[in-house]
Amino acid sequence: MANPLSTLGIVHTAISIVPVIAGLYGFSKYGAILPRTDSGRIYLITLALSVLTSFGLSSTGGINEGHVIGIVALLAAGFSLAVGRLGWFGRLGRYLATLAMSFTFFLLMIPGLNETLSRLPPASPIGNGPDSAPVQTALMIWTVIFLIGLCWQVWSLRRRPVGAGVPV
């Protein structure tokens, strides 16, 4: 079977795997994606590259939902960085910065789950687009995992004093 991905599609996919790995590493080591860590910087750079390379890909020939999700993810990352560095919102700022960065990871995975389930296994993909039942189920499960993760992060932040040795 011929490869259904274009060269840009292959590059985009390869780039898009990196923020997933960096994000998972950050969550496992720090409980969050922290921009001042190596994994956080890698996450942010490759998230931006992933979103930028997605604009060359579109089955509809224009801006699609995946592109909009990418733009929202970049805006959320920018908000997280601004809140974290400028001290906006006082004590609430560390919560907002952490949760906004986690939101970017949640958004990153939406098109990732859709594309993965709509392409794999190659002979008989599990789903056939964002409206298929398997993709919808996976996205619903992912949303529940995300919400549980947010609750855990808030609980964790409440227990950790400000400046507890974890770079924010």
Q: Specify if 48 maps to a domain.
A: yes
Q: Specify if 164 maps to a domain.
A: no
Q: Could you give the percent of the chain with pLDDT greater than 90?
A: 65
Q: Specify if 45 maps to a domain.
A: yes
Is the pLDDT at 17 greater than 70, yes or no? yes
Q: Specify if 140 maps to a domain.
A: yes
The count of structural domains within the chain is 1
- Is 122 or 138 the better-scoring residue by pLDDT? 138
Q: Specify if 165 maps to a domain.
A: no
Q: Tell me what pLDDT residue 72 has.
A: 97
For residue 115, what are its two tokens? 């594309």
Over residues 57-76, mean pLDDT: 86
Instruction: Look up the pTM and report it.
Output: 0.89
In the structure, what pLDDT confidence band is assigned to residue 7 with cuts at 50, 70 and 90?
confident
Q: Specify if 167 maps to a domain.
A: no
Torsion of CA 94, 95, 100, 105, to 10 degrees: 100
Average pLDDT, the chain: 89
Q: Specify if 123 maps to a domain.
A: yes
Is the pLDDT at 164 greater than 90, yes or no? no
Residue by residue, DSSP assigns 51-108 as HHHHTT--SSSS--HHHHHHHHHHHHHHHHHHHHHH-TTTTHHHHHHHHHHHHHHHHH
CB atoms < 10 A from the CB of 136, how many?
A: 14
Q: Specify if 101 maps to a domain.
A: yes
Over residues 83-93, mean pLDDT: 86
**Structural domain boundaries enclosing 60:** 7-159
